[in-house]
Every structure is written in C-alpha cells, then in structure tokens.
Chain A
Amino acid sequence: MSTVENAPRTAVEKRTEPVAVGFDHVYKAFVARGRKSGPVLALQDVAFDVRPGEFVSLVGPSGCGKSTCLNLVAGLSAPSEGVVTHHGRQVRGVNTAVGYITQEDNLLPWRPLAANVELGMELRGVPRAERRERAQEFIELVGLSGFEEHYPHELSGGMRKRAGIIRTLVHDSDVVLMDEPFGPLDAQTRVILQAELLKLWQRARPTVLFVTHDLVEAIALSDRILVFTSNPGTVKREYTVDIPRPRDPFRIHETPGFGELHEALWADIRAEIGGETP
C-alpha cells in the first residue's frame, strides 16, 4: 500500500476514462420526521467517481451518509444540490437500471424462494421458461438447490441473504448497490458469503458500490475504499487495495499488505469516531 499525502485533487471533469457512477459536489439535507430541530445535512460536498467494473467500498462511522449515497444512485431520493450520474447521465427518478441489495433481505414472505428470485424478471416481463432457467442457475451457484419451494421464514439467515443477493444479481445490471448486506449475520457465515459474492462478481464484473462497517470485509472485497467522515459526511480519503485477485476472504489476514492497510483505515475511522485529527 502506498500513500500519497495531500496530493492535488484529480478534477472530476478532466477524467478521460469512462465513469460508471459519478458524484459531483453532492449535498443532501433531510428534514427529520419529528421536526423539532431543523433539517440535517447528511452529505456535504461529496465528489467521487467509480470506473466500470470497479468494486468500491464506502466505509465510515454510523450515520455518515453512506446509505444515503446508495439511495441517490438508485434514484430513491434526489440530491439537494449537485449531480449524481449513471454512465454520464444524471439520475432522475427511480433508477431501474441499477441493482440494489438492502440490509434487510426484503424477500416477499408469501413467495417461495424461486418465486422471489424470479421477482425482478417477472416485473420486467421476462417469459416464464427463461425466468425459471436463469433463477435455477443462480440458485445452484450459491448452493441453494433443493430449497426452491421453501418460504423465507423456513430458511436460515444466511440462506435468505443469498437469496436476496442472487435476486438482484440475476439481472446482470452493470451497477450493483449493496448496503451492508452481511451486517446481521454471524462472523463465519459472513466470510463464507463474502467468498461466494466474489465468485458471483467474477462472472460478469459489474460495478459495485458496497457499504460496510467491516474494514476487513472492505479490504477483502474491494478495489478501492472510500473513507467517509462523520456527519455531515464527505469523502475523507481514498485507498487503493493493491492485493491481487482472485482473493480469499478466509485468508485475507495473511496476505502481504493487509496489515498496513488495515492499520491505516482503522486510524482514519478512529479519528472520525473519536473526533481527533489524524
């Protein structure tokens, strides 16, 4: 891992490489429901680019607006100021071209597994035979064969997570958003699913924006890590993960370069949580 301190900012406008997702000086303010206080600034002057096929993690203390960034790309809310772009075009309204994997698995409880995985395709009018085939392909990929007719409440947490993930990945969207997808799982299941996620990702190499609290996870999965400040959130520092692919989440601790990177990330986060300047 190499560090370039206080390097001049590479201006967004001057980039010549194609940009899959772009944040151009984005601000986002929310009015809280209780309305006792005024509006709260969730994001402040957020500017970063994501290249096609890149796996980028957003890390930072709780409440720093990482999930808000994902919502902006998905078009579920709009920036108060600034522009969020998807392949150069501004995101207006709900962006159905991206895939969104939320923290709760949000499986429809009244549909069995296969029907849930097929949901997106069903909504897009994909014919039944094709739907079934594609869904089956992914179900087998993540080791859920045999559970196609099980209802979500009959599946374990890890299995439901897998289902939520393949439900989105089955579309081969070129941009996939993931909001702490492995958050509520136990440590062992988490590592297993990280490995499976990488395996799935290698197939089509979509652009991924991945929000997580787990720094080890971020290092294991990403090409780049963006560290956010505490509220109001902005990008504090960008890290490139030089560890070569394919990566093994089970043994990520042993790879050279991991230790330094982890230390540096932790120092940044600690500073944000503690309020000290690094």
Chain B
Amino acid sequence: MTAREPTPGGMAVLDATRREHRAARTAQRRFLLAARLGIVVVALVGWELASGTLIRSFYVSSPSAIAETLVEWITSGELFYHGAFTVTAAFLGYVLGSVAAVLIAWPLAMLRTAYRIAEPYFLVAYSIPAVAMGPVFILWFGIGMTPKVLIAAYFVFFIVFINTVAGFQQVPSGLLDVTRVMGASRRAQLRTVLLPSALPFVLAALRITLPAAMIGAVTGEFISSNRGLGYLTRAAAASYSTAGVLAGVLCLSVIVLLMNLLLRPLGHALRWRPDVDVGHGAEVR
C-alpha cells in the first residue's frame, strides 16, 4: 500500500499546520506554567499574610515559620539523621515486601488449586489494615528499625502480590494455545509468554509501592519510635509546634515525590502495552 507524496500546495498546508500546532502547544505550556505559578504564589503570600492576622498562627503556622524550622533542622543535622532512618526503613521494607510478594505470588498464580486454597486466608489478611498490625510488630520486635521495616513490607506486600497474580492470570489464553501447538513445554511457555506478559504488571506495582513503603515506615514511627521523620512530626505535635508538624509533612511529601520521579523509568518497560494500568490498593495513603 504505497502512499503518495503531497503536492507543493499540500506541503505548504502541512508546514503551516505544524507551525500553528507548535505555537499552540507552546502557548498552552506557558499558560499552564503561569497559572500554576500564580496559584502557588497567591497561596503562599495569602497564607503568610493571613497567619497571625486573620487566623491564629497556632492553627496554620506560616510559610516563614515553616521555612525557619526547616533551616533549623537542616543545620542541626536532625533532618538528615531522622530522614535517613525513615528512608532506610522504607527501602528495606520495599525490598522485603516486593521480593516476598513476587516469590509467593508466582507459584500461586500458576497453580490454580493452590491459589484457591490460599485465597480466603489472603483476603482475611488483606482486610487487616496495616495500621492495626503496627502495634503487633512493635510488641514482637521492639522499638528499632525492624518493626518499621516490617510494617512497610506489609504495605508493599499486598499490592505487589495482587498485581503479580493479576499479571499472570490475564495472559490471553490464545497466546498459550498457539505456543502449545507450536510445541512449547510448560517451562518454555513460562519463559516466552507468561513472564514477559506478567512483567508490566509487576513493574507497575513496584513503581507505586516505594511511596507506600514510606507510608508504612512513617506509620510505624507514629505508633512508637524515637527516630525518624514520623517521630519528628509527632514530637512537634506533642510540643504544639504547628510549624514543626507542617515542616515534617513537607519533608515527607517531597521525599515521596522524589521517589515517584525516580521510579518513572520503570514505566519504560511498559512501552509495548500502553494500556496497562496500576493495580489495586496502590493509592498512596
């Protein structure tokens, strides 16, 4: 099916359209940037002005107070000390949770009977909010990094597990039939069809769960800890320092955003499946 070359008149129209389109895109980008910046500036300025005058600064603090607290934390080394703790716990929990989830989900997804036996128990475990398991882990393993790692792993485990199972189970049966008739053994099918087909789902889950691990670690710190950003935030709350609480929230949010940005390249593996969506329960809490 050969396409024909456009005439000079046609080429002129193509060029003009391309230029128009590019101009429109740039204009839109500028507008968005301006609008967003505008919102941020207005919000910050309004906040700063309102604090102390319209609203008691105790309730909302102010951008300047928060900035002050942050500077204090950075210069005293507190930010790094506590931040490192939380991030390490989150990362360890992330690795533990995802590895465990994939290792357990994989054989279960392949053996239908085994999966159906385990499913009800899994559903019960899934119904226990990770927050509730927090105290249990702390009682079992004390106050140190271990329970935080475990809570983070708990958060991560279920999301990765569900998505891994979904990944294996959504393989179109047509692909499996066709490869069987081509002579593929079960192992060959695993290698050529099942694993590549399930991979995007697993990767999508892995992309989303590092922040979830962070939440888990922070949750653990809230319940009982003497280190970590969660502890820092809680301590600020205990001493009625709204600025401290908000500074803590800010730090945590920035870290989570960075994590999301860092993991974006994992999306590259999804390039041949533009329709794969992130799975269940993956929202950042």
List residues of chain A with CB under 8 Å of any chain B CB: 74-76, 94-96, 98-100, 102, 104, 106, 108-111, 119-120, 122-124, 151-153
Contact = CB atoms under 8 A, between A and B. Distances in A.
Report which residue of B177, B181, B273 has the largest number of chain A beta carbons within 10 angstroms of its beta carbon. B181
A122 to B, nearest CB: 8
Given A110-B272, A153-B272, A94 B181 contact: yes
A40 to B, nearest CB: 19
Given A123-B188, A151-B272, A102 B178 contact: yes
- Closest CB pairs A-B (n = 9): A96-B183, A120-B182, A100-B181, A106-B178, A106-B174, A110-B196, A123-B184, A74-B181, A110-B272
Interface of B: 172, 174-175, 177-184, 188, 192-193, 196-197, 272-274
Contacts of B182: 96, 119-120, 123-124
A108 B171 CA distance: 11
What secondary structure prevails in chain B residues at the interface with A?
helix
Contacts of A119: 179, 182, 192
B177 A102 contact: yes
B137 to A, nearest CB: 39
Contacts of A111: 196
17 contacts: A94-B180, A96-B180, A99-B181, A100-B177, A102-B177, A104-B172, A106-B177, A108-B192, A109-B272, A110-B197, A110-B273, A119-B179, A120-B183, A123-B179, A151-B272, A152-B272, A153-B272
Contacts of A102: 174, 177-178
Contact of B177 (A76, A95, A108, A151): A76
A110 B273 CA distance: 8
Contacts of A74: 181
A123 B188 CA distance: 7
Contacts of A100: 177-178, 181
B75 to A, nearest CB: 50
Given A104-B172, A123-B192, 19 more contacts: A76-B180, A94-B180, A96-B180, A96-B182, A99-B181, A100-B177, A100-B178, A102-B177, A102-B178, A104-B174, A106-B174, A108-B175, A108-B192, A109-B272, A123-B179, A123-B182, A123-B183, A151-B272, A153-B274
A92 B154 CA distance: 47
B2 to A, nearest CB: 11
A94 B176 CA distance: 12
Nearest to A151: B272
Contacts of B175: 106, 108
A109 B192 CA distance: 11
A33 to B, nearest CB: 13
A75 B172 CA distance: 19
A73 B196 CA distance: 29
A83 B188 CA distance: 29
Contacts of A122: 192
A3 to B, nearest CB: 37
Report which residue of A94, A99, A110, A111 has the largest number of chain B beta carbons within 10 angstroms of its beta carbon. A110
A174 B61 CA distance: 81
A98 B179 contact: no
B125 to A, nearest CB: 29
A156 B168 CA distance: 27
Contact of A95 (B181, B197, B273): B181
Contacts of B188: 123
A151 B274 CA distance: 12
Nearest to A154: B272
Contacts of A94: 180-181
Contacts of B183: 96, 120, 123-124
Contacts of B196: 108, 110-111
